[in-house]
Amino acid sequence: MKKENYVIGVDYGTDSVRSIIANAANGQEVASAVFYYPRWKDGLYCDPGVNQFRQHPLDYLEGLEQTITRCLVQAGPSVTANIRAISIDTTGSTPVAVDETGTPLALLPRFEKNPNAMFVLWKDHTSVPEAAEINAHAEKYDVNYLQYVGGIYSSEWFWAKLLHILREDSEVRGACHSWVEHCDWIPFVLTGGKAVSAMKRGVCAAGHKALWAAEFGGLPPEQFFTDLDPLLTGFTKRLFTKTYTADQAAGTLSKEWAEKLGLSTDVIIGVGAFDAHMGAVGGQIEPYHLSKVMGTSTCDMLVAPLNEVEGKLVKGICGQVPGSVIPGMMGLEAGQSAFGDAYAWFKQVLTWPLQHVLGQSSLVNSETAKALIQETADKLIPELSKQAASIVIDEHSELAVDWFNGRRTPDASQELKGAITGLNLGSDAPRIFRAIVEATCFGAKAIVDRFNDEGVPVKGLIGLGGVAKKSPFIMQMMADVMNMPIRIHKSEQTCALGAAMFAATAAGIYNKVEDAMNAMGQGFDATYYPDKSKVALYQARYKKYHNLGGFVENTVKVKSKESALSN
């Protein structure tokens, strides 16, 4: 009997980590487990008021061990004996300060409760000033070191976060030997890495967030960073020059982790990458089809043959890097800083009285109040969607801009704010919710327009992730606004499945990731087609969205200029 091969895909999201075991022959999911980060859930080390979002490495390590162990128990001994490889994806840019051994400083006793020694989550925007300095600094050079990241550096990315932490915390600065992405650290841990200098860095994170490019011979020169701030002296030498695509092996499972998990030390560990990049593969991305991973934010991935986009640089996106999605093809990334988060914010606004008033009620006991709050919160978005879908709008109905967490693309600016206009005394919750959903769809259309305008055509849309699977209302509006069909992938876990596909390739089960994708892909189970009767109305409202966005942007610029003059 032919021996079956199984692989593990690990997907680190914003709130939790999920692992799956998949049959490498057909992608069938045989086990899955999820772990919600306990410290993150308790709001530790975060301050939303100043856009500080940090995650403790113990949340990541505990989740890694627990989810894989639970998967193996579910799958049973016969599957466990045939696990061939593990690959992981993470959010990004989510870097951390490490010592020479590659240990995050927060795992050392003196830093265990210091947020600056923890992973700086992608949505942390404390480094807005540093990003602005990098953008201004880059203009001084004959070589455009930002050309492969859309021409604008973001506060969500590697160097801005490093500079902010170095400036903010002298103790961390003194102990920080290097700066490491989450997606590079987990494979390093699993392979038993002991020196950060030996860590295999993925081209995905390096190219899209850290300014690495083959054309530069690696990172920009040391002088670029030291002229920006002397605090960055020496960091390029302690980082990396060589990078690896995610179809390659980072090594094999260490003895320590093999014993923890009950696996063989022969298990291959793949090079890591970002969630949306592996998710695009799990969702069976095709050339020139925009793969939209829709969750708290969106990451929009597009791949194209290298020879067809040679010499084309798309302005205002999150980078274009050969091999970052599919080795041998150009990977282009864009996205929105808030998508599901925008809906979650409105939900929190609406549930505020429940959280703060109902709990004090003398009419129901605390357990009943808690149950009522939870039930209402769970039903709120589905009911809002149902009511909003029935609303008939016109050109002048409530209108919103979706920059509730700044703007990722096109043209990154984390200083920008969301807005809602056209309100009147008839503007109820479903109408406001509808305007927010429409704004997120308009934000998505702005990304498609930028690709098209820059000569990289978007020929189709693929929807992935929780929002794509769970909200027909939002997906139908997306199709209507885009005036394009959007296919929804069947898999509930495209990121973890994509990681499993890369694991199978790193293990040599497949020669290239496209073969793994074809064999293990689960296909599509829904397609939303545009309602042609609504296209003209959305085109008119899209123009108003741009006008409102322009007003918000100009207001922010004026405010920033006034603040600079006062200082």
Distance CA 327, CA 248 (A): 10
**12 within 8 A of 88, measured Cβ to Cβ:** yes
The pLDDT tens digits for 305-363 are 999 998 899 999 999 999 999 999 999 999 999 999 999 999 999 999 998 888 788 88
Q: How confident is the model at residue 2, as a pLDDT?
A: 54
The pLDDT tens digits for 395-437 are 999 999 999 999 999 998 988 999 999 999 999 999 999 999 9
**87 within 8 A of 274, measured Cβ to Cβ:** no
**Domains and their CATH numbers in the chain:** 6-283+491-525 (3.30.420.40), 340-490+531-566 (3.30.420.40)
C-alpha closest to that of 93 among 162, 176, 27: 162
Handedness of CA 424, 430, 434, 436 (dihedral sign): positive
SS (H, E, C) 248-282: CEEEECCHHHHHHHCCCCCCEEECCEEHHHHHHHH
- pTM of full prediction above 0.85: yes
Which run of H or E residues covers position 551? Answer: helix 535-566
User: Does position 558 have pLDDT exceeding 60, yes or no?
Assistant: yes
Which run of H or E residues covers position 64? Answer: helix 57-75
The pLDDT tens digits for 441-458 are 999 999 999 999 999 999
Handedness of CA 200, 204, 205, 209 (dihedral sign): positive
How many Å is the maximal CA-CA distance in the chain? 77
**559 within 8 A of 456, measured Cβ to Cβ:** no
**134 within 8 A of 119, measured Cβ to Cβ:** no
Q: How confident is the model at residue 359, as a pLDDT?
A: 78
User: Does position 560 have pLDDT exceeding 80, yes or no?
Assistant: no
Structure tokens at 432: 């406001």
Total number of residues shown for the chain: 567
Please state, for a pLDDT cut of 90, what percent of the chain lies above it: 92
Q: How confident is the model at residue 565, as a pLDDT?
A: 55
C-alpha closest to that of 458 among 469, 447, 468, 443: 447
- The band of 7, judged by pLDDT with boundaries at 50, 70 and 90, is very high
